[in-house]
A and B are shown apart, each in its own frame.
Chain A
Amino acid sequence: MKTFNIDSPMHHKTKVFPSPFHSRQAEWNENKEWSRWYDYLSVPSYTDETMEYFAGRNTCGVFDITPMTKHLITGPDALPFMNRLVTRDVSKLKPGRVGYSVWCDDRGQVIDDGTIFHLQQGQYRLCSQEHQIDWLMINAHGFDVSIVEDTHDVAGLALQGPTSCAVLRKMNLPGIENLTPFGMASFDFEGTQLMISRTGFTGDLGYELWIDPDHAEVLWDRLFAAGELHGIRPMGSDALEMLRIEAGFIMAGADFAPALHTVRSKNTRSPFELGLDWLVDFKKPVFNGRQALLKEQQQGSRYALVKLDIEDNKAAEHSYVYDTRERNIGWVTSAMWSPSAKKNIALATVKRPHGKVDERMLVEIYYQRELAWSRKMAQAVVVEQPFWDPPRRRQTPPADW
């Protein structure tokens, strides 16, 4: 249910908002630990992050994505607006489809990344990691569009893992198995509309469920009832972090500094520097950052974001990266021991021309054993493919577990 009324003059007393799923999250939250995700309370881990992670890979896990910033963009100029905003060509995104993109400032530096839902002709939902409403309003000048941040009006759950489709089928959502990756569909549900997209942040089979906050709890209950025999369990943000690193997904604030929150210009990154060349479509005559990115394409980028396969099993968090002659060339931005790939993996930023596939590097890892610190210069190699990319992620219809 909706846990606060933002229009009430006393709403400041609410401080950090409980999510519309809060009553259910609180029941499951054995650790009684809460973290803050922008305006909302979020759960780092309900019981044990590794168990929750394995639910995401072996059965299915449920993660509350209500706090994600959401915007509704409507009006006759919604498409030209979106196309000027983001780097990729939104005109190719048909109604009922979802697309991932980044958006840049005029210097071609990434402000944020997120997903664009083409809800219907002339209507888009933009989901982002960071708050974007001011940037969107700046972008709206000269366009006939209406832009509303509706973060608080939409409750969301990510249902991720191999049994996720089976759970949804059990909820009697006709045709759910025919939904292709990045597709979406709406269903009548308990007197309201339940929107489901085949999207997620885990690199696996998975869905995101969107509903009005007053139906949040009934959705949770129905979902967990349907999933009881399919290993469903709630997931916290720690487990999600592991899942997304394995999938090779970058995160604002972790793998790059969002341009609008960055004071020192050398610390921002272009899409090319984040390995997102495929998102930049120069066939569009104008989009934010186009001129700067054209120039960068000709003159070269400063950095490369690489996936590293590192020897041994000590996570390379916060490590420096060196070339084979031990010259510092960058640093690790995200790292973990990957239980599914059985590899010690990391995402790292290195200075060009470093960063080519198969390039050998060294990673300086500090680790503790019974409080005693050790240091290791671990061998690492740049790999091209994500560490976790199972065929079931794309298979339609998905297997019925």
Chain B
Amino acid sequence: MTKAVKSALIIGGGHNGLACAAYLARAGVQVTVLEAAERFGGAAVTREFAPGFQISAGAHLLFALDEKIRSELQLEQHGLEMAATALETIGLDEDGDYVSIAGGTLSGPGALDEDKTAMTRYQRQMNRFADVIWGLKDQLPPRMGTTAKDDLLSLGKLGLKIRRLGTEDMREFLRITGINVYDILQERFTSEHLKGALSVDGTLGTFLGTRSNNSVFCALHRFNRGRDYALPKGGMGAVSEALAAAAKAAGATLRTNATVASITMDFDRASGVTLSDGETLEADVVISNADPKTTFFKLLGARHLEAGFANRVHHLRTRGCVAKLHLALDGLPGFTGLDETQLGKRLLIAADMQYVEHAFNHAKYGEYAQEPVLEITVPSVHDATLAPAGQHVLSANVAWAPYDLKGGWTEVARADFLERCLSVLERYAPGLRGQILHSELLTPVDMEQEFGMTGGHWHHVELALDAFLMMRPTPGAAQYATPVNGLYLCGAGSHPGGNVTGCVGRNAAKAVLKGQG
């Protein structure tokens, strides 16, 4: 029999680690969170990148934070405030013929009438399908090959959800989930420009182009049931701070500048951790917010794992491929065709699907995109705390920029890639270059260093059907418990994956309390 868990150590104070800490603390577990950086949040963090300019250094849009977590942990009471909500997505156009997407509503000078009707249908269908995929987000994924009631129930629920779509939608769901966004967007829409913008949802943050299978799945994973993009006041770090406050209020001990060097084993059980300064801590369970490769290889050591499992972890796809661009601007940028109020939306540079595919093609061969895809926010439009008066910050995800760049991310390569980003931006926002006071480019290698994520990968482990639900990160660790007694996972490498959701942390807490594994 497993005895009740009384104490827990959480390696890493990312948003999931904090959520996990909050839930465990509320259940009476003595929790200590150990964060290596000087602030909490992992890749959901706000920091200064140039004097007076604050930026969300990792994730820069909030769109998937779980409602249940928000209310259960009372994040609003703990200081979470939105600077802007319901942000439309605007597919930029060099000539100003942009398209604006707000849920199922399409507008803007580039919007075609036939696409408007198609958009409503697309939105309805994707919402239903995303519901199936997200339906199990706050459950422990079922284990395979067992006859335990919980597992069968969980599998049954998934089956039922698919069946409930009705014959037509079920067929369509089964047809498209494994295939690529290029095909399904081609079937549904006319405007090349609109298709380009929509295809970004299936490819950004993954090693997939528009024609790569799995990209529909990724689009569904991002599809957040009609809720649109939001910007927290004070940047993404505000989410983490609210989670930290909630965890603290529940009684968790939170420590920054505490780098875990290794997980300690007591015979066949994880019994604690050793910090880089030599300090040792013990607890009933150790929960890792770090990615699976960091957890199992760097902190634990492959030798404490059986070889088949270690081999599966070894082969997890963890090659990050998105860079982050931060610009401090002397004034509002002028994107052709957009008025001032539109600058604060989610802006996409993805001329058409061919453009996106070409940007990805380079990554396949270890090169960065010559004409990158950009997802841009100018959060200071909504939030004056981020930049000095009259000045602004621009944050952009830039794809594709592979972690393992041929020849490495040398100063020359960085400078050249930055130049390519700026020259693309300049085409859409003439005069932008002249406004730049400071710039910062984070390659996946930088993100690996800053956030401790293997490969600088947003999702810790590539998001794909073969790494979802009971396959995430890999069988044997897909229920948050790992093959090592007393060691759990609570990071984006586990179900339901990356993005700032808090779900992994909450589910992991549930698994720990259940004592599974």
Which residues in window 263-290 of A have CB below 8 A to B?
285-290
Q: Is the CB of A285 within 8 A of B268?
A: yes
B308 CB-CB contact with A under 8 Å: yes
A143 at the interface (CB under 8 A from B): yes
Whether the Cβ atoms of B306 and A286 lie closer than 8 Å is yes
Chain B min CB distance to A394 (Å): 35
- Complex partner residue of A141 from B265, B304, B310, CB under 8 angstroms: B310
- Answer whether A286 and B302 are a contact pair too, CB < 8 Å, given A141-B310, A142-B297, A291-B483: no
CB neighbours (8 Å) of B302 from chain A are 141-143
- State whether the Cβ of B311 lies closer than 8 Å to any Cβ in chain A: yes
- Given A138-B311, A142-B297, A285-B267 in contact, is the A80-B303 Cβ separation under 8 Å? yes
Q: Which residues of A contact B306 (CB under 8 A)?
A: 84, 106, 286-291
A143 to B314, CA, bound (A): 13
Q: Taking the nearest CB of chain A, how far is it from the CB of B477, in angstroms?
A: 12
Candidate in A84, A286, A287 with the most chain B CB atoms within 10 angstroms: A286
**Closest approach, in angstroms, between the C-beta of A276 and any C-beta of chain B?**
18
Complex: chain A residue closest to B296, CB-CB: A142
- Per the 8 Å Cβ criterion, residues 102-120 of A in contact with B are 105-107
Chain B: residues with Cβ within 8 Å of the partner, total of 18
B390 within 8 A of A: no
Q: How far is B442's CA from A4's CA once the two chains are assembled, in angstroms? A: 54
Instruction: Tell me the B434-455 residues at the A interface (CB within 8 Å).
Output: none
Q: Which residues of B contact A139 (CB under 8 A)?
A: 307
B465 interface residue (CB < 8 Å to A) = no
Residue with the greatest number of chain A CB neighbours at <10 A, chosen from B301, B306, B307, B483: B307
Q: Is B261's CB within 8 Å of the partner chain A? A: no
Q: Which residues of B contact A286 (CB under 8 A)?
A: 268, 303-306
Q: Which residues of A contact B311 (CB under 8 A)?
A: 138, 141
B122 interface hit (Cβ, 8 Å): no
For B308, give its contact among A81, A105, A142, A287 (CB under 8 Å). A105
* B409 at interface by CB-CB < 8 Å: no
**Interface check B309, CB cutoff 8 A:** yes
A84-B307, A105-B308, A106-B307 known; A142+B267 contact, CB < 8 A = no
**The residue from A107, A142, A287, A291 contacting B310, defined by CB atoms under 8 A apart:** A142
Contacts of B476 in A (CB 8 A): 106
CA–CA, A143 and B310, complex, Å = 12
B314 vs chain A, min Cβ distance (A) = 5
Report yes or no: A285 in contact with B307, Cβ–Cβ below 8 A: no
Tell me the dominant secondary structure on chain A's binding face. Answer: loop
Q: Write out the residue numbers on chain A whose beta carbons fall within 8 Å of the beta carbon of B308.
A: 105-107, 138, 288
Q: Which of B296-336 contact A (CB under 8 A)?
A: 297, 301-311, 314
A84–B268 CA distance with the chains assembled, in angstroms: 13
Q: Give the docked Cα–Cα distance between A362 and B459 (Å).
A: 60
A105 to B307, CA, bound (A): 8
- Determine the main DSSP class of B at the interface with A: helix
The residue on B at minimum CB distance from A84 is B303
- Residues of A21-49 whose CB lies within 8 A of B: none
Q: What's the Cα separation between A237 and B4 when bound, in Å?
A: 59
* Bound form: Cα–Cα A139–B308 in Å: 8
Closest to A108 in B: B306
Residue in contact with B265 in the complex, picked from A143, A285, A289, CB distance below 8 Å: A285
Q: How far is the CA of A263 from the CA of B302 in the complex (A)?
A: 27
User: Does A85 lie at the interface of the complex (its beta carbon under 8 Å from any beta carbon of B)?
Assistant: yes
Evaluate contact between B303 and A142: CB separation under 8 angstroms: yes
We find that the number of chain A residues with CB closer than 8 angstroms to chain B is: 21
Task: Please measure, in the bound complex, the distance between the C-alpha atom of A284 and the C-alpha atom of B307, giving whole angstroms.
Answer: 15
On chain A, the residues within 8 Å of B310 by CB distance are 141-142
Bound Cα distance A142, B300 (Å):
10
Partner of B309, one of A80, A85, A106, A287: A106
Residue of A80, A105, A106 with highest tally of chain B CB at under 10 A: A106
Instruction: Please report which residues of chain B, range 253-309, place their CB below 8 angstroms from some CB of chain A when the two chains form the complex.
Output: 265, 267-268, 297, 301-309
CA distance A135 to B306 in the complex (A): 12
Separation in Å of the B324 CB from the closest CB of chain A?
31
Nearest-neighbour CB distance to chain B for A355, whole angstroms, equals 26
**In the assembly, what is the distance between CA of A288 and CA of B307, in Å?**
6
Most A CB atoms within 10 A — which of B297, B304, B306? B306
Task: Provide the B136-159 mask, 1 if CB < 8 A to any CB of A, else 0.
Answer: 000000000000000000000000
The docked-state distance in angstroms from the alpha carbon of A107 to that of B314 is: 18
The chain A residue with its CB closest to the CB of B265 is A285
Shortest distance between the CB of A20 and any CB in chain B (Å):
33
Smallest Cβ-Cβ distance to A85: which chain B residue: B307
CB distance from B437 to the nearest CB of A (A): 46
Tell me the minimal C-beta distance from A79 to chain B in angstroms.
11
Give the CA-CA distance A285 to B304 in the complex, in Å.
Answer: 8
Q: Which residues from B are CB-within-8-Å of A288?
A: 306-308
- Residues of A near B268 (CB, < 8 A) are 285-286, 290
Please indicate the chain B residues that have their CB under 8 angstroms from the CB of A80 in the complex.
303
- Chain B residues near A135 (CB, 8 Å)? 307
* Chain B residues within 8 Å of A141, by CB: 302, 307, 310-311, 314
**Closest residue on chain A to residue B483 by CB atoms:** A291
How many angstroms from the CA of A286 to the CA of B487 in the assembled complex? 15
- Which chain A residue shows the least CB distance to B309? A106
Complex Cα distance A81/B309, Å? 15
Contact with B along A116-153 (1 / 0, CB 8 A): 00000000000000000001001101110000000000
In the complex, what distance in Å separates the CA atom of A287 from the CA atom of B476? 16
Task: Give Cα A166 to B306, complex, Å.
Answer: 45
- Chain B residue nearest to A105 in the complex (CB): B308
A77 to B303, CA, bound (A): 10
B267 contacts which chain A residues (CB < 8 A)?
A: 285
Interface residues of B in 453-484 (CB under 8 A from A): 476, 483
> A residues within 8 A CB of B309?
106
Distance in Å: Cβ of B159 to nearest Cβ of chain A: 24
- Bound complex: CA of A138 vs CA of B483, how far in Å? 18
Contact with B along A63-106 (1 / 0, CB 8 A): 00000000000000100110011000000000000000000011
Nearest to B267 among chain A residues (CB) is A285
CB neighbours of B265 from chain A (8 A): 285
Q: Per-residue 0/1 for A324-344: is the Cβ within 8 Å of any B Cβ (1 yes, 0 no)?
A: 000000000000000000000
- For the complex formed, measure the closest distance between the CB of A82 and the CB atoms of chain B, giving whole angstroms: 11
Residues of B within 8 A of A287 (CB): 306
CA–CA, A287 and B267, complex, Å: 12
Set of chain A residues within 8 Å of B483, measured between Cβ atoms: 291
C-alpha gap A289/B306 in the complex (Å): 7
Tell me the nearest residue of chain B to A106, going by C-beta: B308
Which B residues lie within 8 Å of A77 (CB)?
Answer: 303
- Which of A105, A142, A143 is the most central at the interface, judged by chain B CB atoms within 10 Å of its CB? A142
Return the chain B residue nearest A138 by Cβ.
B311
CA distance A109 to B259 in the complex (A): 39
Most interface-central of A80, A81, A105, A285 (chain B CB within 10 A): A285
CB distance from B297 to the nearest CB of A (A): 6
Say whether A138 contacts B303, CB under 8 Å. no
Q: How many whole Å from B148's CB to the nearest CB in chain A?
A: 14
A138 to B301, CA, bound (A): 15
Produce 1/0 per residue, B231-265, CB < 8 A to A.
00000000000000000000000000000000001
Given contacts A141-B310, A142-B297, A286-B306, 18 further A-B contacts (CB under 8 A): A77-B303, A80-B303, A81-B303, A84-B303, A84-B307, A105-B307, A106-B307, A106-B309, A107-B308, A138-B308, A138-B311, A142-B302, A142-B303, A285-B265, A285-B304, A286-B268, A288-B306, A291-B483
13 contacts between A and B (CB under 8 A): A77-B303, A84-B306, A105-B307, A105-B308, A135-B307, A138-B308, A141-B311, A142-B303, A143-B302, A285-B267, A285-B304, A288-B307, A291-B306
- Please list the residues of chain A having a beta carbon within 8 angstroms of any beta carbon in chain B: 77, 80-81, 84-85, 105-107, 135, 138-139, 141-143, 285-291
Give B contacts to A, CB under 8 Å: 265, 267-268, 297, 301-311, 314, 476, 483
Q: Which 6 residue pairs spanning A and B have beta carbons closest together?
A: A142-B302, A106-B308, A285-B268, A139-B307, A106-B306, A138-B311
